[in-house]
Structure 1
Amino acid sequence: MIRAKRSLSQNFLVDHNLRRKLVEALDAGPGDTVVEVGPGHGELSELLVGRVRRLVLVEKDDRLAPLLNDRWGDRSDVVIVHGDALTEDLSALAGVPPVRFVSNVPYAITSLLIFRLLDVEPVPSRIVVLVQEEVARRMTAKPGGKEYGALSIGVQTRADARLAFRVGRKAFRPVPRVDSAAVVIEPVAGIPRDRIEATRALTRAAFSRRRKQLGTILRTAPVYGLGAEEAAAVARAVGIDLSTRPEAIAPGPFAELAWRLGELCRNREGG
């Protein structure tokens, strides 16, 4: 086994039973394309080769990509991409749906990769990621808890997400300092791009002022700068009290509020 490269934040999953659980959570069938990001030595990949319509392996490591090519480069149903998933065109690599993504995500790029996967069009049928347990809990957290925040909103306004199972740190080599967990993400199709951007804008404004009440955020955030009456009207339309803090607002109302704020700002600029 090639040693993990710290610069790539690699921790290889060595527990065979847990690899099988990841594949089971992915629930890919013979009609699916599966894109695996960071396949490493191919231990997870070998459970998918020949069982799905098409398998795309995206590997950045200069040492590992040739090994994958040696194993499966002659197969017509396996595509090996020596590249960085943060810069490759994942939508083009995924091709014709249905498509599913799976990744033992390098810790250093967790949030960046998750949102890149959520940006894939057409939306994947399912995404399964193995991430730090703390991150998994933030992704799937419910409103009002200390773990609920910007990442929770960012994921849950675009997908259904659930924590599937925990993975202890000793299942990896080298052994990391923290435990991990598998998260199953099922993206929602058809969300307009301007709604996604509106939600991002409100997320940035709200969670950079986490302990502030919504009314204060809407009046003081430069992106909005609403008057008291404007803030009250837009919040009332969504059924949210201005004294509410961002961490108490559920993803659905949060996204609706973001959209209405975006519309208000666009109308203000147009007028």
Structure 2
Amino acid sequence: MNREAIAKLVRQVGLRPSREAGQHFLLNESVVERMVEESEVGPKDTVLEIGPGFGVLTRALLARGASVIAVELDSRLAQFLRTTFNGESRLTLLEGDVFRVRLDKYLTDRKYKLIANLPYSATSMVFRQFLTRPPRPTMMCTLIQKEVAERITAEPGEMSMLSLSVQYFGRPAISFMVGRKDFDPIPAVDSAVLRVEKIQQEETVISKKAFRLAKFGFSGRRKQLKNSLAAGLHIDQSKVEDILLESGIAPEIRPQELSVENWLTLAKNVN
């Protein structure tokens, strides 16, 4: 699909793409084909697509024989998709906010794949929602901002709350980069396709405690961890130092230097 075709469709539906909402339509259909290929989509799969737009990815998923649950927030695009895919029995189109739609009526926990070109503004919320609450997918393949993909896949030294959260629940990896000129309108940043596999961890008492400690830690990202934890836990810094040493963690360390395993070990030693 080229820019002229997108412009024609935009005029047809009376749409004005919102840069603020991160609404960018993908032009390069080879990106879609590669996403579908790498996700190993087949006739036995159920796929959740968030923000189908003009249905480029939707069509590719259906061509592989998958059953697709597509959730579109924009009423004009939803109507366009109903007309375009009229009579397609393997497509269920839901109009509304993906965070408010009762997806449990259509999806079974760990029985579907999430594949989508995500609106930039919704990326963090999508990962939080679909990794922590049922119905959770077996894998995710999403087209998102390159910078966010790099943050999610960061290693100790560059970790954040986002990378910690995603890496606890699954195994993220960047598949390939997508340039900004492959979208219309052209965004200010490049994108990347991020896959998250092995989504099987459950939240536990220890993981909840680890995330609570991490929030204390990352509230003072430039500070040494012992200072942030002492303030957050309201205990003496000497006590925090003892807990860190017991956990095999240097008291002078900063929160971005800890791995997922480090946070879980620390949580076990905090009463």
SS in 2 for 1:216: helix
Q: Which residue of 2 aligns with 1:61?
A: 74
Instruction: Note if contact 2:41-2:66 (Cα within 8 Å) is conserved in structure 1.
Output: no
2:66 and 2:121 mapped to 1: Cα distance? 31
- Aligned positions, number: 258
* CA deviations over 1:106-155 (Å, ceiling 9, x no partner): 1112211221121242531110111111111101111113xx32211121
Instruction: Note if contact 2:153-2:163 (Cα within 8 Å) is conserved in structure 1.
Output: yes
Q: Which residue of 1 aligns with 2:28?
A: 15
SS in 2 for 1:94: coil
Q: Does 1:161 align with 2:151?
A: no
* CA deviations over 1:5-37 (Å, ceiling 9, x no partner): 216431001101111111122222222210000
1:177 and 1:18 mapped to 2: Cα distance? 19
Identity percentage of aligned residues: 31
Q: Which residue of 2 aligns with 1:49?
A: 62
Q: Does 1:152 align with 2:163?
A: yes
- Code of the aligned partner of 1:210: R
Instruction: Note if contact 2:225-2:253 (Cα within 8 Å) is conserved in structure 1.
Output: yes
Q: Can you give the 5+ residue segments of structure 1 that lack an aligned partner in the other structure?
A: 265-271
Which is further off, 3-12 or 187-196? 187-196
Deviation at 1:97, TM superposition (A): 4.3
2:268 and 2:79 mapped to 1: Cα distance? 46
Quick one: structure 1 residues 180 and 159, their matched pair in 2 at CA, closer, same or farther if it must change by over 3 Å?
same
Quick one: structure 1 residues 242 and 52, their matched pair in 2 at CA, closer, same or farther if it must change by over 3 Å?
farther
Pairing 1:107-186 to 2, within 5 Å after superposition: 107-145=120-158, 148-186=159-197
Q: Can you give the 5+ residue segments of structure 2 that lack an aligned partner in the other structure?
A: 1-8
2:120 and 2:29 mapped to 1: Cα distance? 21
SS in 2 for 1:48: helix
SS in 1 for 2:75: coil
1:35 and 1:240 mapped to 2: Cα distance? 41
Q: Which residue of 2 aligns with 1:5?
A: 17
1:77 and 1:226 mapped to 2: Cα distance? 57
1:160 and 1:169 mapped to 2: Cα distance? 26
Q: Does 1:33 align with 2:46?
A: yes
Q: Which residue of 1 aligns with 2:210?
A: 199
Which is further off, 25-34 or 13-22? 25-34
Instruction: Note if contact 2:139-2:199 (Cα within 8 Å) is conserved in structure 1.
Output: no
Deviation at 1:203, TM superposition (A): 2.5
1:96 and 1:139 mapped to 2: Cα distance? 23
- Structure 1 residue runs of 4 or more that deviate by more than 4 Å after TM superposition: none
Which is further off, 127-136 or 68-77? 68-77
1:193 and 1:64 mapped to 2: Cα distance? 40
Which is further off, 167-176 or 155-164? 155-164
Deviation at 1:193, TM superposition (A): 4.6
Instruction: Note if contact 1:210-1:246 (Cα within 8 Å) is conserved in structure 2.
Output: yes
- Could you state the TM-score of these two structures normalised by the residue count of structure 1? 0.87
Deviation at 1:212, TM superposition (A): 1.4
Instruction: Note if contact 1:118-1:187 (Cα within 8 Å) is conserved in structure 2.
Output: no
SS in 2 for 1:163: strand
Q: Does 1:72 align with 2:96?
A: no
Q: Which residue of 2 aligns with 1:254?
A: 263
- Code of the aligned partner of 1:244: I
Instruction: Note if contact 1:4-1:174 (Cα within 8 Å) is conserved in structure 2.
Output: no
Deviation at 1:49, TM superposition (A): 1.0
Instruction: Note if contact 1:4-1:12 (Cα within 8 Å) is conserved in structure 2.
Output: no
1:52 and 1:230 mapped to 2: Cα distance? 59
